[in-house]
Amino acid sequence: MNNLVESFVCQNISCQVFRSDLNHPVIQGNKWYKLKYAIQKALDDKVSTLLTFGGAHSNHLLATAFAAKEAGLHVVGVVRGDELADRPDLWSRTLIQSKAHGMALVFVSRSDYRLKERSEPVQIQLQQHPNHMLINEGGTGPLAVKGVVDMMHDMAAQLTNPPTHLFCPVGTGGTLAGVVEGVAQLGWACQVCGVGVLKGLHGVKGDVLQWLTPAAGETEWSVLDQYHHGGYAKSTPALRQFAVDFQQTHGIPLDKIYNAKSFYAMNDWIKQGRISNHDRPMIIHTGGLQGGTFGATDEPSH
Protein backbone atom coordinates (compact mmCIF):
# COMPACT_ATOMS: atom_id res chain seq x y z
CA MET A 1 0.00 0.00 0.00
CA ASN A 2 1.22 3.54 -0.76
CA ASN A 3 2.17 5.68 2.18
CA LEU A 4 -1.08 7.43 3.10
CA VAL A 5 0.22 9.26 6.18
CA GLU A 6 0.90 12.96 5.57
CA SER A 7 1.99 15.71 7.95
CA PHE A 8 0.78 19.27 8.19
CA VAL A 9 1.15 22.09 10.68
CA CYS A 10 -1.94 23.56 12.27
CA GLN A 11 -1.46 26.63 14.51
CA ASN A 12 2.17 25.63 15.12
CA ILE A 13 1.22 22.10 16.16
CA SER A 14 2.41 19.31 13.96
CA CYS A 15 -0.42 17.00 12.94
CA GLN A 16 -0.75 13.89 10.84
CA VAL A 17 -3.51 12.75 8.54
CA PHE A 18 -4.24 9.25 7.26
CA ARG A 19 -5.35 9.96 3.67
CA SER A 20 -7.63 6.97 3.28
CA ASP A 21 -9.38 9.15 0.68
CA LEU A 22 -6.52 8.27 -1.67
CA ASN A 23 -7.12 4.50 -1.51
CA HIS A 24 -9.69 4.19 -4.30
CA PRO A 25 -11.35 6.64 -6.71
CA VAL A 26 -14.91 5.41 -6.02
CA ILE A 27 -14.94 2.99 -3.06
CA GLN A 28 -13.11 5.71 -1.24
CA GLY A 29 -11.78 6.04 2.29
CA ASN A 30 -13.71 4.27 5.01
CA LYS A 31 -16.12 2.84 2.40
CA TRP A 32 -13.49 0.46 1.06
CA TYR A 33 -12.78 -0.87 4.53
CA LYS A 34 -16.44 -0.95 5.55
CA LEU A 35 -17.52 -2.92 2.49
CA LYS A 36 -14.70 -5.37 1.93
CA TYR A 37 -15.87 -8.15 4.29
CA ALA A 38 -19.53 -7.76 3.27
CA ILE A 39 -18.63 -8.26 -0.38
CA GLN A 40 -16.42 -11.19 0.54
CA LYS A 41 -19.25 -12.77 2.55
CA ALA A 42 -21.70 -12.29 -0.32
CA LEU A 43 -19.30 -14.08 -2.67
CA ASP A 44 -18.58 -16.86 -0.14
CA ASP A 45 -22.31 -17.39 0.45
CA LYS A 46 -22.94 -17.33 -3.32
CA VAL A 47 -25.47 -14.54 -2.93
CA SER A 48 -26.62 -12.98 -6.18
CA THR A 49 -28.13 -9.67 -5.03
CA LEU A 50 -27.11 -7.05 -2.49
CA LEU A 51 -29.72 -4.69 -1.11
CA THR A 52 -28.78 -1.57 0.78
CA PHE A 53 -30.10 1.82 1.86
CA GLY A 54 -29.11 5.47 1.56
CA GLY A 55 -30.12 9.06 0.98
CA ALA A 56 -29.75 10.86 -2.33
CA HIS A 57 -26.21 11.95 -1.44
CA SER A 58 -25.04 8.75 0.23
CA ASN A 59 -21.38 7.93 -0.44
CA HIS A 60 -22.25 4.42 0.68
CA LEU A 61 -24.79 3.89 -2.13
CA LEU A 62 -22.29 4.84 -4.79
CA ALA A 63 -19.47 2.81 -3.23
CA THR A 64 -21.74 -0.24 -2.97
CA ALA A 65 -22.90 0.18 -6.57
CA PHE A 66 -19.30 0.14 -7.74
CA ALA A 67 -18.13 -2.65 -5.42
CA ALA A 68 -21.06 -4.86 -6.48
CA LYS A 69 -20.30 -4.26 -10.15
CA GLU A 70 -16.66 -5.23 -9.61
CA ALA A 71 -17.73 -8.37 -7.76
CA GLY A 72 -20.31 -9.33 -10.41
CA LEU A 73 -23.26 -8.95 -8.02
CA HIS A 74 -26.66 -7.43 -8.73
CA VAL A 75 -27.45 -4.57 -6.33
CA VAL A 76 -30.60 -2.75 -5.27
CA GLY A 77 -30.33 0.67 -3.60
CA VAL A 78 -33.32 1.74 -1.52
CA VAL A 79 -33.33 5.53 -1.60
CA ARG A 80 -34.95 7.87 0.93
CA GLY A 81 -37.53 10.10 -0.82
CA ASP A 82 -40.20 8.81 -3.20
CA GLU A 83 -40.60 12.29 -4.69
CA LEU A 84 -37.46 11.56 -6.71
CA ALA A 85 -38.88 8.44 -8.37
CA ASP A 86 -40.31 10.23 -11.40
CA ARG A 87 -37.91 13.16 -11.37
CA PRO A 88 -34.53 11.96 -12.64
CA ASP A 89 -33.89 15.59 -13.56
CA LEU A 90 -33.58 16.22 -9.78
CA TRP A 91 -31.25 13.30 -9.08
CA SER A 92 -27.95 13.99 -7.35
CA ARG A 93 -24.67 13.09 -9.00
CA THR A 94 -24.49 10.22 -6.48
CA LEU A 95 -27.75 8.71 -7.73
CA ILE A 96 -26.90 9.21 -11.39
CA GLN A 97 -23.54 7.50 -10.95
CA SER A 98 -24.92 4.70 -8.78
CA LYS A 99 -27.42 3.90 -11.52
CA ALA A 100 -24.71 4.14 -14.17
CA HIS A 101 -22.76 1.48 -12.26
CA GLY A 102 -25.78 -0.81 -12.48
CA MET A 103 -27.57 -0.23 -9.17
CA ALA A 104 -31.35 -0.64 -9.38
CA LEU A 105 -32.77 2.36 -7.49
CA VAL A 106 -35.98 1.96 -5.53
CA PHE A 107 -37.35 5.22 -4.12
CA VAL A 108 -39.42 4.96 -0.95
CA SER A 109 -41.23 7.45 1.27
CA ARG A 110 -39.47 8.70 4.38
CA SER A 111 -41.77 6.63 6.60
CA ASP A 112 -41.04 3.46 4.62
CA TYR A 113 -37.36 4.31 4.68
CA ARG A 114 -37.42 4.45 8.47
CA LEU A 115 -38.87 0.94 8.52
CA LYS A 116 -36.07 -0.36 6.27
CA GLU A 117 -36.61 -4.06 5.37
CA ARG A 118 -39.89 -4.15 7.32
CA SER A 119 -41.50 -1.76 4.82
CA GLU A 120 -43.75 -3.09 2.08
CA PRO A 121 -41.75 -1.83 -0.92
CA VAL A 122 -38.54 -3.36 0.46
CA GLN A 123 -40.34 -6.63 1.27
CA ILE A 124 -41.42 -6.78 -2.38
CA GLN A 125 -37.81 -6.34 -3.49
CA LEU A 126 -36.63 -9.05 -1.13
CA GLN A 127 -39.24 -11.46 -2.49
CA GLN A 128 -38.16 -10.66 -6.05
CA HIS A 129 -34.53 -11.38 -5.11
CA PRO A 130 -34.67 -14.39 -2.80
CA ASN A 131 -30.91 -14.98 -2.90
CA HIS A 132 -30.05 -11.62 -1.35
CA MET A 133 -27.87 -10.15 1.36
CA LEU A 134 -28.85 -6.97 3.19
CA ILE A 135 -26.25 -4.34 3.91
CA ASN A 136 -27.23 -1.73 6.49
CA GLU A 137 -27.44 1.99 5.84
CA GLY A 138 -23.90 3.40 5.67
CA GLY A 139 -22.63 -0.18 5.35
CA THR A 140 -22.42 -0.28 9.13
CA GLY A 141 -22.41 -3.55 11.06
CA PRO A 142 -19.95 -6.01 12.57
CA LEU A 143 -18.27 -6.75 9.21
CA ALA A 144 -17.76 -3.04 8.60
CA VAL A 145 -16.23 -2.60 12.04
CA LYS A 146 -13.87 -5.49 11.30
CA GLY A 147 -12.83 -3.78 8.07
CA VAL A 148 -12.14 -0.48 9.84
CA VAL A 149 -9.98 -2.34 12.38
CA ASP A 150 -7.92 -3.45 9.35
CA MET A 151 -7.65 0.20 8.37
CA MET A 152 -6.17 0.93 11.79
CA HIS A 153 -3.56 -1.78 11.29
CA ASP A 154 -2.74 -0.37 7.82
CA MET A 155 -2.34 3.05 9.41
CA ALA A 156 -0.22 1.77 12.30
CA ALA A 157 2.15 0.09 9.85
CA GLN A 158 2.92 3.54 8.41
CA LEU A 159 3.48 5.36 11.71
CA THR A 160 6.64 5.73 13.76
CA ASN A 161 4.87 6.88 16.93
CA PRO A 162 1.24 6.31 17.83
CA PRO A 163 -0.96 9.42 18.03
CA THR A 164 -2.13 10.88 21.32
CA HIS A 165 -5.41 12.12 19.79
CA LEU A 166 -7.25 10.59 16.87
CA PHE A 167 -10.17 12.31 15.12
CA CYS A 168 -12.69 10.88 12.67
CA PRO A 169 -16.19 11.86 11.52
CA VAL A 170 -19.25 10.02 12.83
CA GLY A 171 -22.48 9.22 10.99
CA THR A 172 -23.79 5.80 11.94
CA GLY A 173 -20.81 5.14 14.24
CA GLY A 174 -19.39 2.06 12.49
CA THR A 175 -16.17 3.82 11.58
CA LEU A 176 -15.70 5.14 15.10
CA ALA A 177 -16.28 1.66 16.53
CA GLY A 178 -13.58 0.21 14.27
CA VAL A 179 -11.19 3.00 15.18
CA VAL A 180 -11.73 2.48 18.92
CA GLU A 181 -11.39 -1.29 18.58
CA GLY A 182 -8.25 -0.82 16.49
CA VAL A 183 -6.69 1.54 19.04
CA ALA A 184 -7.37 -1.08 21.73
CA GLN A 185 -5.85 -3.88 19.65
CA LEU A 186 -2.78 -1.77 18.96
CA GLY A 187 -2.41 -0.94 22.66
CA TRP A 188 -2.22 2.80 21.99
CA ALA A 189 -2.74 5.31 24.80
CA CYS A 190 -4.76 7.52 22.52
CA GLN A 191 -7.89 9.58 22.98
CA VAL A 192 -10.35 8.93 20.16
CA CYS A 193 -12.57 11.88 19.21
CA GLY A 194 -15.49 11.03 16.96
CA VAL A 195 -16.96 14.17 15.42
CA GLY A 196 -20.73 13.94 14.99
CA VAL A 197 -21.89 15.34 11.64
CA LEU A 198 -25.60 15.04 12.45
CA LYS A 199 -27.61 16.89 15.04
CA GLY A 200 -28.84 14.84 17.99
CA LEU A 201 -26.64 11.78 17.66
CA HIS A 202 -27.96 10.54 21.01
CA GLY A 203 -28.22 6.88 20.09
CA VAL A 204 -24.87 6.57 18.43
CA LYS A 205 -22.84 5.96 21.59
CA GLY A 206 -24.96 2.92 22.37
CA ASP A 207 -24.55 1.71 18.78
CA VAL A 208 -20.77 2.05 19.01
CA LEU A 209 -20.71 0.22 22.34
CA GLN A 210 -22.59 -2.76 20.92
CA TRP A 211 -19.81 -3.31 18.34
CA LEU A 212 -16.92 -3.05 20.79
CA THR A 213 -15.28 -6.01 22.49
CA PRO A 214 -14.46 -5.87 26.22
CA ALA A 215 -10.82 -5.24 25.21
CA ALA A 216 -11.84 -1.78 24.00
CA GLY A 217 -13.10 -0.88 27.48
CA GLU A 218 -9.80 0.78 28.36
CA THR A 219 -9.80 3.11 25.37
CA GLU A 220 -10.90 6.68 25.97
CA TRP A 221 -13.37 7.75 23.29
CA SER A 222 -16.17 10.24 22.86
CA VAL A 223 -18.59 11.63 20.31
CA LEU A 224 -18.21 15.40 20.02
CA ASP A 225 -21.69 16.73 19.33
CA GLN A 226 -21.01 20.46 18.95
CA TYR A 227 -19.50 20.41 15.47
CA HIS A 228 -22.48 19.46 13.28
CA HIS A 229 -22.94 23.07 12.06
CA GLY A 230 -26.72 22.78 11.94
CA GLY A 231 -27.05 19.09 11.07
CA TYR A 232 -26.40 16.57 8.32
CA ALA A 233 -25.24 18.25 5.08
CA LYS A 234 -25.78 21.69 6.67
CA SER A 235 -23.07 24.26 7.02
CA THR A 236 -22.18 27.59 8.59
CA PRO A 237 -20.05 30.44 7.22
CA ALA A 238 -17.37 29.48 9.78
CA LEU A 239 -17.23 25.91 8.46
CA ARG A 240 -17.06 27.01 4.84
CA GLN A 241 -14.35 29.57 5.57
CA PHE A 242 -12.32 27.05 7.54
CA ALA A 243 -12.54 24.41 4.78
CA VAL A 244 -11.67 26.86 2.00
CA ASP A 245 -8.65 28.19 3.93
CA PHE A 246 -7.52 24.69 4.95
CA GLN A 247 -7.71 23.35 1.41
CA GLN A 248 -5.79 26.34 0.06
CA THR A 249 -3.10 26.16 2.74
CA HIS A 250 -2.54 22.40 2.85
CA GLY A 251 -3.75 21.17 -0.52
CA ILE A 252 -5.94 18.53 1.16
CA PRO A 253 -9.53 18.47 -0.17
CA LEU A 254 -12.27 18.10 2.46
CA ASP A 255 -15.75 16.86 1.58
CA LYS A 256 -18.55 19.13 2.79
CA ILE A 257 -20.48 16.58 4.81
CA TYR A 258 -17.93 14.67 6.88
CA ASN A 259 -14.31 15.74 6.75
CA ALA A 260 -14.81 19.51 6.71
CA LYS A 261 -16.48 19.03 10.11
CA SER A 262 -13.93 16.65 11.62
CA PHE A 263 -10.95 18.77 10.52
CA TYR A 264 -12.76 21.86 11.87
CA ALA A 265 -13.16 20.09 15.22
CA MET A 266 -9.50 19.16 15.47
CA ASN A 267 -8.52 22.71 14.58
CA ASP A 268 -10.87 23.98 17.30
CA TRP A 269 -9.35 21.65 19.91
CA ILE A 270 -5.94 23.02 19.05
CA LYS A 271 -7.27 26.59 19.23
CA GLN A 272 -8.73 25.89 22.67
CA GLY A 273 -5.39 24.56 23.90
CA ARG A 274 -6.77 21.04 24.40
CA ILE A 275 -3.91 19.77 22.25
CA SER A 276 -0.40 21.02 22.89
CA ASN A 277 2.92 20.68 21.11
CA HIS A 278 3.78 17.71 23.35
CA ASP A 279 0.90 15.82 21.72
CA ARG A 280 0.76 13.94 18.42
CA PRO A 281 -2.69 14.68 16.97
CA MET A 282 -3.85 12.66 14.02
CA ILE A 283 -6.96 12.69 11.88
CA ILE A 284 -8.40 10.09 9.53
CA HIS A 285 -9.54 11.50 6.19
CA THR A 286 -12.45 9.22 5.39
CA GLY A 287 -13.01 10.27 1.78
CA GLY A 288 -16.50 11.21 0.56
CA LEU A 289 -15.06 13.62 -1.97
CA GLN A 290 -17.61 12.68 -4.61
CA GLY A 291 -20.08 14.68 -2.48
CA GLY A 292 -18.16 17.88 -3.27
CA THR A 293 -15.90 20.30 -1.44
CA PHE A 294 -16.46 23.90 -0.39
CA GLY A 295 -15.20 26.36 -2.97
CA ALA A 296 -14.33 30.00 -2.42
CA THR A 297 -17.54 31.05 -4.21
CA ASP A 298 -19.93 28.55 -2.60
CA GLU A 299 -23.35 29.63 -1.46
CA PRO A 300 -24.57 28.31 1.91
CA SER A 301 -25.99 24.81 1.45
CA HIS A 302 -28.97 25.55 3.71
Ligand X SMILES: Cc1ncc(COP(=O)(O)O)c(C=O)c1O
Instruction: Name the residues that contact ligand X, by CB under 6 A.
Output: 29-30, 59-60, 138, 140, 169-176, 255, 258, 286-288
Query: Distances from the Cα of 175 to the Cαs of 16, 80, 141, 211, in angstroms?
Result: 18, 22, 10, 10
By C-beta, is 125 or 286 nearer to ligand X? 286
By C-beta, is 13 or 134 nearer to ligand X? 134
CB of 251 to ligand X, least distance (A): 19
Beta-carbon contacts of residue 105 (< 8 Å; ≥ 6 apart): 76, 77, 79, 95, 98, 99
Angle between helices 93-100 and 59-71 (to 10 degrees): 10
- Say how far apart CA 241 and CA 267 lie, in whole Å: 13
Beta-carbon contacts of residue 266 (< 8 Å; ≥ 6 apart): 10, 15, 165, 167, 193, 275, 281, 283
By C-beta, is 260 or 270 nearer to ligand X? 260
By C-beta, is 129 or 211 nearer to ligand X? 211
By C-beta, is 29 or 182 nearer to ligand X? 29
CB of 58 to ligand X, least distance (A): 7
- Say how far apart CA 289 and CA 28 lie, in whole Å: 8
CB of 120 to ligand X, least distance (A): 26
CB of 168 to ligand X, least distance (A): 7
Query: Distances from the Cα of 7 to the Cαs of 19, 29, 255, 283, 299, in angstroms?
Result: 10, 18, 19, 10, 30
Per DSSP, the three-state class of 259 is helix
CB of 171 to ligand X, least distance (A): 3
